[in-house]
Structure 1
Amino acid sequence: MTAEWPSIGVIIPTRDRPAMLARAIDSVSIQDYPGRLRMIIVYDQAEPDYMLARSGERPLMVLVNWRTPGLAGARNTGILALDTELVAFCDDDDTWAPDKLRRQVETLGGAEFGTCAMEVEYADRITPRLAGISLVGVTDLVRSRMAMLHASSFLIRRSSLVNADQLGLVAEDAPGSQNEDWDLLLRAAKRGAIRHLDEPLVRVAWGRTSYFAYEYDTKVASLRWMMERHPEIARSDIGAARVYGQLACWSAANGDKESALQYARQAVRSNWREPRAAIALAAATGVVKVENVLSALHKRGRGI
């Protein structure tokens, strides 16, 4: 029976969050997946706990990120250390439903890249985020980041990740390792439709558990990096307006009123209905705080 299911390696990058890491490890350990399953914990810019390593049916290896510091380098460290057919990511502050991997493998078939929906945990609320589709293409990802396709839902063929002529590794030049997941999704979609299981099998923690929640300079730099790397975003009125609106909001939150107004104008020129432009203008003029808007949106499982 096990031989009929592809082997899977699960990469959990971590940094100084032992309690959350323990939850993530437990959620992977109890998967009802019939095939071979192993985990790699990659410590990024943190002292590793080698006592977590174990052998057995579902072995766990502990590594230190030896590549570029950050999430992308940590994931690539894990990818290159694996020998499994498939690779899955799970952030250390996220957890999986027990049938996540089995259900995803059944949906993936012979495809290269698969995802599933998620539910957002913020404060005392749990909010499902569904995509409403089963196949995700470039147009979908240009118009929207599709936040429900979270990195902790990714299931990818390792052979494609390690081959630069195919999908290739996670982009380590992404500023602050932000939007590297959106970039990977877009690169995958350009090679073929992403198989999406539209059920919330991943629980994602939002809020202050993120190391980058309030690093606005990094948010701005990573979005500009995405637009340079994927020019089709700028060619989409809706997609460009969304990104310019985000740039305006993060600039306003960072106190850069001039840039906020400039990006807001670009957002409106692309799509006058873009709501982020109004949020940014209100924030730039002191009417609201971006953090307060973001908190209200997070309670509904949404973001800016």
Structure 2
Amino acid sequence: MKMPTVSAVIPAYNAAKTIRRALDSVYAQTYDNIIEVIIADDGSTDDTAEIVRAAFPQATVLHRENGGDAAARNTGIEHASGDYVAFLDADDEWVPEKTSVQIEAMDRHPGIGIVTCHFTRVTEGQDTATGCHVRIAGEAFLNITGFEDWLCWISPPPDCYMLPNASGLVVRRSLFDETGLMDETMPGSVEFLVRATARGYSVGVIGRPLSIVYAAAGTHSRSAAGKLEVAHMADSLISRYDPSGVGWAAELLSEKRYARARYEASLFAAEWANSAGDRALAARHLREALARCEARGLRSLGLRLGALSPAAYYKLSSLGRRVRGICGALKGRN
């Protein structure tokens, strides 16, 4: 049986200090059919491209004007010819078996359009910690079957930063042809994943750390500015789910699914805005979440899904704590 082909895509901006480590991890993969490695140089002003050409002449370097990570990933996607596209940020690395494990999972689950994984975060001056999806740490594999489950899954406690990391993503190349490329106006890959699940694709989660994510002390994702960026991202996603609008989500979602997604996204935005210190934005989204939360309906939903979905069970059991935490913090700032 022919092994599926994989294209590795690495967006890079002034990555001279880390690109060699990232590429070493790609070429050390145990999977034998990575047919191309594409570095999308996002307008670097250092010698990133020269380092790649000298040390990894087999890799392809594509130059583009600076447009951000999503734009650079899109450049790589457009040139990728593999059956799958695997993403890696230029300052991160993969463990050797990552590609093999993820491609095997996608072969076993043909309905899965995207597979991601846990990651290990290495922060300067701190102990190494495993991150991402800690609420389902006991699961070897989780199938996210709908975009509302996805929104539930990415809604973390405010003291965590558990959004999926792009360096863990593997996507079927054909999916981009059907759903479009990544949104270059939004940070990270969350919008693309929500859009893909809204269109009926499933996301598989490997319950083990297969990528290593490096962050400097005081990294933006942990800062107030980073948290506020996440809150505004959630705010933007919410607006796309408005059935009175003209976006793709409005045409695809039933009223019930829309209401559940808006509730989860509103609570998600409230938590992050509160954590970032934006009291007005947090209060607005909390009011929206509470307005959509019908206790009887939520309890019934949790009883039906709790046995099947760890994320749904977590949602039901932590709802009170999450709302009380936001309300308490907002009250304390009066």
**Normalised by the shorter chain, which TM-score bucket?**
0.7 to 0.9
Name the CA distance, whole Å, in 1 between partners of 2:49 and 2:212.
Answer: 26
Report the counterpart of residue 249 of structure 2 in structure 1. Answer: none
Report if aligned partners of 1:13, 1:41 keep a CA contact under 8 Å in 2.
yes
Structure 1 unmatched ranges of 5 or more: 288-304
Select which of 70, 81, 96 maps to 2:68: 70
Give the drift of 1:30.
0.6
Report the counterpart of residue 119 of structure 2 in structure 1. Answer: 119
**Does residue 156 of the first structure (1) align with residue 180 of the second (2)?**
no
Give the drift of 1:25.
1.9
Report if aligned partners of 2:114, 2:172 keep a CA contact under 8 Å in 1.
no
Cα 1:115–1:262 shift into 2, 3 Å:
same
Give the drift of 1:63.
2.3
Name the CA distance, whole Å, in 2 between partners of 1:56 and 1:37.
Answer: 18
Name the CA distance, whole Å, in 2 between partners of 1:45 and 1:57.
Answer: 19
Cα 1:36–1:17 shift into 2, 3 Å:
closer
**Does residue 235 of the first structure (1) align with residue 243 of the second (2)?**
no
TM-score by length of 1: 0.75
**Does residue 142 of the first structure (1) align with residue 151 of the second (2)?**
yes
Name the CA distance, whole Å, in 2 between partners of 1:194 and 1:241.
Answer: 21
Report if aligned partners of 2:86, 2:171 keep a CA contact under 8 Å in 1.
yes
Report the counterpart of residue 30 of structure 2 in structure 1. Answer: 32
The percentage of aligned residue pairs carrying the same residue is 23
Give the drift of 1:169.
0.8
Q: Residues 1-304 of structure 1: matches in 2 within 5 Å? A: 4-47=2-45, 49-54=48-53, 59-66=58-65, 69-109=67-107, 110-111=110-111, 113-121=113-121, 122=123, 123-127=126-130, 129=133, 131=136, 132=139, 133-138=141-146, 139-145=148-154, 147=162, 149-161=164-176, 163=177, 166-174=178-186, 177-178=187-188, 181-189=189-197, 190-205=199-214, 208-210=218-220, 213=223, 214-215=225-226, 218-231=229-242, 235-236=259-260, 239-252=261-274, 255-271=277-293, 273-284=319-330
Cα 1:23–1:242 shift into 2, 3 Å:
farther
Report if aligned partners of 2:221, 2:227 keep a CA contact under 8 Å in 1.
no
Name the CA distance, whole Å, in 2 between partners of 1:58 and 1:112.
Answer: 34
Give the drift of 1:276.
4.3
Report if aligned partners of 1:248, 1:280 keep a CA contact under 8 Å in 2.
yes
Q: How many residues align?
A: 275
Higher helix share: 2
Give the drift of 1:226.
0.9
Cα 1:149–1:258 shift into 2, 3 Å:
closer
User: Which digits, 9 at most, give the CA deviation of each residue in 1:172-192, with x for residues without a partner?
Assistant: 232xx24xx222222332333
Give the drift of 1:43.
2.7
Cα 1:200–1:230 shift into 2, 3 Å:
farther
SS of equivalent residue, structure 2 residue 86: strand
Give the drift of 1:264.
2.8
Report the counterpart of residue 294 of structure 1 in structure 2. Answer: none
Report the counterpart of residue 312 of structure 2 in structure 1. Answer: none
Cα 1:220–1:36 shift into 2, 3 Å:
closer
Name the CA distance, whole Å, in 1 between partners of 2:329 and 2:114.
Answer: 38
Give the drift of 1:216.
5.0
Give the drift of 1:225.
1.6
Cα 1:40–1:275 shift into 2, 3 Å:
farther
SS of equivalent residue, structure 2 residue 280: helix
Give the drift of 1:58.
8.4
Structure 2 unmatched ranges of 5 or more: 156-161, 243-252, 296-318
> Which letter does structure 2 place at the counterpart of 1:96?
W
Name the CA distance, whole Å, in 1 between partners of 2:18 and 2:265.
Answer: 31
Give the drift of 1:106.
1.4
SS of equivalent residue, structure 1 residue 53: helix
SS of equivalent residue, structure 2 residue 17: helix
Give the drift of 1:212.
8.3
Cα 1:269–1:23 shift into 2, 3 Å:
farther
Cα 1:244–1:39 shift into 2, 3 Å:
same
Q: Calculate the aligned-residue CA RMSD, in Å.
A: 3.3
Name the CA distance, whole Å, in 2 between partners of 1:153 and 1:79.
Answer: 16
Name the CA distance, whole Å, in 2 between partners of 1:151 and 1:241.
Answer: 25
TM-score by length of 2: 0.69
Cα 1:247–1:83 shift into 2, 3 Å:
same
User: Which digits, 9 at most, give the CA deviation of each residue in 1:69-125, with x for residues without a partner?
Assistant: 122111001111222221111122322110111121111124562314213424213
Give the drift of 1:10.
1.1
Name the CA distance, whole Å, in 2 between partners of 1:155 and 1:4.
Answer: 19
Which stretch of structure 1 is more off in the superposition, 181-190 or 208-217? 208-217
